[in-house]
Amino acid sequence: MSFNRVEEESFSTTFDIGSLPKHYEFNEFISDEDVESDRDDLPRLVLMGLRGSGKTSIQKVVFQKMSPNETLFIGSNNSMLKDVVNNSAFVNFQICDFPGHFDFTDSEYDVQSILQGCQSLVFVIDAQDAIASALNRLHSVVTKAYKINKNIKFEVFIHKVDGLTEDTKMETQREIHQRANDDLVDSGDEQKIYISFHLTSIYDHSIFEAFSRVVQKMIPHYATLENFLNIIIQTSGIEKAFLYDVKTKIYVATDSSPVDIQSYELCCDMIDVVIDLSNIYGMGQNPGLTNDPAFDDQSSSLIKLNNGTILYLREVCSFLALVCILREDNFEKQRIIDYNFVILRKGIHKLFELKDKEKESIESRNPPSFK
């Protein structure tokens, strides 16, 4: 494994390459304690499920980097928990974690307001528990939520599958999928409501891959990002490309070719290696600050596998990284790949500027009211 610094200035003097300016207001390694959890202006993701299904453990592992083994000591929620995930311009939303005993008629929760601003509703089912009651609750939740907000995207995490055999996993997913759709047919909602199903576990990368697909549906410019990655793999001889949120290891975009879970896991492991080595040997822009991230605009990594495959990581900005998978023969054109990467990074930065202008336009049309 080697870490290389590429002299991008030799390509052209017209490119302004570097991490995003501070005025974009995206703190790349912001802690959950440092932000306001009650942010109604952010996109909203709602977590629901029966008590003990694993909702809170999922949130802790994916977004707060808790070890899966530590989640054994997390108790059940008795009230709704709100948290803000503010890692980057793309992974930037509010999570509402409802308790397992939640009821739509409960006056304690402003369900109408919460679901009206909801973009994605994730319902968690414990695959190792009786699924009949979970399916009844799922049908009740999706039908009532759809009446409030017809734009909600419904996702089901068939969770805790790490203790099941492959055959049992597939049979459980098939049964849950079939019964959930049958319930929608019986209520006449099969043409209105679409539910996506994912097999997940906090003890492997499946939960990160599932949440990647959920977050991608919440990104308004995802089609543009996917097109960027399609172009770079076609022009650079790359087999697969992922655009990762560095902190969570959620891939916010990938090219249009199918995702192989083993390739995804390799890329996740690579990010872990780069971050760990950067924290040991690297220095941030302000060495005197203990919380200054060592992953910066000069970060890059090259790992050669013994099967002739190369993993190539380049920093896009201080919270995003491009990880590419390609054959060793194609990496002989590294200078072309690096040049194309410079163009890609400039395009993504332009997308940030567009997103920032759209936000300012919306705020100017809807000025805050003073009471």
Rounded to whole angstroms, the Cα distance separating 186 from 255 reads: 38
The pLDDT of residue 87: 73
DSSP character at residue 26: -
Q: Are residues 203 and 78 in the same domain?
A: yes
pLDDT of 23 > 50? The answer is no
The pLDDT of residue 27: 40
pLDDT band at 367 (very low <50, low <70, confident <90, very high): low
Considering only residues 149 and 368, tell me which one the structure prediction assigns the higher pLDDT.
Answer: 149
Q: Are residues 83 and 211 in the same domain?
A: yes
Residue 16 lies in a domain: no
| Domain end position, chosen among 166, 196, 218 | 218
The pLDDT of residue 290: 43
Which three-class secondary structure state does DSSP give residue 323? strand
For the ranges 144-153, 230-239, 336-345, 354-363, the lowest mean pLDDT is seen at: 354-363
Averaged over 340-357, what is the pLDDT?
83
Helix axes 166-187, 132-148, angle to 10 degrees: 50
Q: Are residues 175 and 308 in the same domain?
A: no
Residue 263 lies in a domain: yes
What would the pLDDT profile of 151-198 be if each residue is shown by its tens digit? 999 999 999 999 899 999 999 999 999 999 999 999 988 888 999 999
Report the Cα 305 to chain-centroid distance in Å: 27
Averaged over 280-297, what is the pLDDT?
58
Residue 161 lies in a domain: yes
The pLDDT of residue 318: 76
The pLDDT of residue 287: 52
Q: Are residues 213 and 99 in the same domain?
A: yes
Q: And the tokens for 314?
A: 């380049």
Residue 252 lies in a domain: yes
Which three-class secondary structure state does DSSP give residue 89? coil
Averaged over 94-105, what is the pLDDT?
83
What would the pLDDT profile of 239-272 be if each residue is shown by its tens digit? 999 999 988 889 999 999 999 999 999 999 999 8
| Domain end position, chosen among 203, 218, 233 | 218
The pLDDT of residue 102: 79
Residue 19 lies in a domain: no
Mean pLDDT, all residues of the chain:
81
Rounded to whole angstroms, the Cα distance separating 220 from 153 reads: 14
Q: Are residues 52 and 123 in the same domain?
A: yes
Q: Are residues 238 and 213 in the same domain?
A: no
Domain CATH for 97: 3.40.50.300
Rounded to whole angstroms, the Cα distance separating 320 from 224 reads: 16
Closest CA to 24 of 88, 117, 116: 88
The pLDDT of residue 370: 38
- Domain count for the chain, please give it: 2
Averaged over 88-114, what is the pLDDT?
81
Averaged over 339-357, what is the pLDDT?
84
pLDDT band at 31 (very low <50, low <70, confident <90, very high): very low
pLDDT of 357 > 80? The answer is no
For the ranges 46-55, 208-217, 274-283, the lowest mean pLDDT is seen at: 274-283
The pLDDT of residue 5: 44
pLDDT band at 276 (very low <50, low <70, confident <90, very high): confident
Helices in the chain by DSSP H: which ranges? 55-63, 111-116, 132-148, 166-187, 206-216, 222-236, 261-281, 334-365
For the ranges 61-75, 136-150, 243-257, the lowest mean pLDDT is seen at: 61-75
Residue 2 lies in a domain: no
pLDDT of 324 > 90? The answer is yes
Q: Are residues 209 and 64 in the same domain?
A: yes
DSSP character at residue 308: S
Averaged over 353-361, what is the pLDDT?
65
Averaged over 72-101, what is the pLDDT?
83
pLDDT band at 122 (very low <50, low <70, confident <90, very high): very high
What percentage of the chain reaches a pLDDT higher than 70?
79
Residue 137 lies in a domain: yes
Domain CATH for 329: 3.30.450.190
Q: Are residues 53 and 184 in the same domain?
A: yes
pLDDT band at 133 (very low <50, low <70, confident <90, very high): very high
Q: Are residues 188 and 123 in the same domain?
A: yes
| Domain end position, chosen among 218, 248, 269 | 218
Report the Cα 109 to chain-centroid distance in Å: 27
Residue 366 lies in a domain: no
| Rg (the chain; Cα; Å) | 22
Q: Are residues 187 and 299 in the same domain?
A: no
Q: Are residues 83 and 201 in the same domain?
A: yes
Which residue in this structure is represented by tokens 């975009």?
253
Strands 309-317 and 300-304: antiparallel
Q: Are residues 158 and 50 in the same domain?
A: yes
Residues of the domain holding 146: 44-218
